[in-house]
């Protein structure tokens, strides 16, 4: 149910990181690591499953919104998530 703005202690700008501000150009990250980085946490920070679920609610749309600036790598195994990184020209094969 919607809440009046006056019900909150404060309102803040809804600013998100640009991919180049968040990710190192020579690294790939899982969606879980990106979720932590978006909250200024260490990518390896331990989180409760409930907290991680909330952070994923922010990370997944961020990845989709910034897809043009990202590359994706397949998981290395069936029990591992995929990886995302900054798109650089040298990362993609040349098209013919």
- The verdict on residue 80 lying in a domain is yes
- The verdict on residue 69 lying in a domain is yes
- The verdict on residue 82 lying in a domain is yes
- The verdict on residue 65 lying in a domain is yes
Q: What is the pLDDT of residue 95?
A: 53
- The verdict on residue 95 lying in a domain is no
Counted domains in the chain: 1
Task: Return d(Cα 37, Cα 52) in angstroms, integer.
Answer: 12
- The verdict on residue 44 lying in a domain is yes
In the DSSP assignment, the letter for residue 72 is: E
- The verdict on residue 19 lying in a domain is no
Kindly tell me if the per-residue pLDDT of 96 is higher than 70. Answer: no
Lowest mean pLDDT among 28-32, 54-58, 72-76, 92-96: 92-96
Kindly tell me if the per-residue pLDDT of 24 is higher than 90. Answer: yes
Q: What is the pLDDT of residue 89?
A: 87
Kindly tell me if the per-residue pLDDT of 48 is higher than 90. Answer: yes
Q: What is the pLDDT of residue 13?
A: 85
Domain extent, residue 71, equals: 24-87
């Amino acid at each position: 149910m919607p809440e009046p703005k006056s019900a909150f202690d404060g309102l803040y700008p809804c600013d998100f990181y640009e991919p180049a501000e968040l990710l190192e150009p020579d690294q790939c990250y899982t969606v879980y690591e990106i979720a932590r980085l978006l909250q200024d946490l260490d990518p390896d920070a331990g989180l409760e499953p409930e907290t991680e679920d909330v952070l994923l609610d922010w990370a997944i749309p961020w990845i989709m919104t910034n897809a043009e600036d990202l590359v994706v790598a397949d998981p290395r195994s069936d029990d591992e998530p995929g990886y995302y990184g900054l798109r650089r020209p040298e990362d993609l094969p040349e098209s013919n």
